[in-house]
Structure 1
């Protein structure tokens, strides 16, 4: 029941290219876990960016078996040359000690008190497949449906029907600050980047716990379409937290 976000700290020019990063990861995936392509939802998400002037690439794994098979290959890249659209040297492979690295379990997502407020920062363009087109607005139902679908595909729990209905039908937007940004990699569309605070009025204790857990899960899963290209990279934020340098 492990979820892991592993970061490759890179030496090289610029940030990885989305298609190059995906091609590199799919080569590793084909060797370690070829049957994963037979599944509907992808049990992984990719990301890239710059932190403290250092480019990085991120592989987030939502299944323990996938982590068990892929993590040795990823750790083995340290000191190696890789091509992620352009060449890099892998300076380090981290699952802690970097703002986009982390390790947890599905039960730990639900530890601690919940909150009726869910603040999310959208670091890379986020969009959703809606009625055959790409839709760039982070509406509460689209965001929470995306997270519920992926969590229930790979985690041990399903949201009780009453909780699901409350989350999807009553969650509103309390604060929104952002813009759209062009996304060009296999698709030509725009996605939302910025900050949103979602709010569930009259939330029960169980509803608040699920809302908070979904926010924690979003850090690992991403949300929306094309998370395998680095889109939909999001994380909860606190008003007092420092801004992170994005991709």
Structure 2
């Protein structure tokens, strides 16, 4: 039993969210990845799910518990990533608005960028490289593009800023107007995304309830004396039913999340 649980725990690492995109806003840094206790802390919920499933329904339950815990962790990480992405977009939009106003007032682009020191911490982190490039007379647009690789949550916005900077330098297009357009698009995306998430709260809740219905059915069966858990714990067929059933429910939850998330602008 313990060996099965440990095997499930190892497999859970493959189910955890990773890679670029919106989840990168909450992924640990390379320094954090090198700390074993932090890695263990991130795996603790999955381990708890594995052990709970093992106690409730044997080895098949351990696999099912691992899958459930990994899906729950993935959904929570995605929610935190959405919140973090909205926060950094909002702060960056405010910084761009301030830069635009300073440029309209006759300020130099390098001086306007340097004013980011008074902006929010997330915006300062995103614009550190462009500020340094502007102070040294280096390629600001190139620094913005490099920053897009390090900050995927606002990568598209940084690429638009880089394009605006390039147009202003090469063709003399007013930089303040171009950055104002970038800011307007960012603010619209944040507001529209928040509105869509609020409207989709109902469908999300419905999908969650439907996903949990099989577990409620098992609980009702236990209360009525049918003892469905004994059927699931006993024999290979019961164990297979646990794994397949939970796997299908998890796949349905992830698929419903994908459908709902597709309606929210990134």
Q: Normalized against structure 2, the TM-score is what?
A: 0.20
Greater RCO, 1 or 2 (C-alpha within 8 Å, sep 6+) = 1
Q: Relative to total residues, which structure has the larger helix share, 1 or 2?
A: 2
Q: Relative to total residues, which structure has the larger strand share, 1 or 2?
A: 1
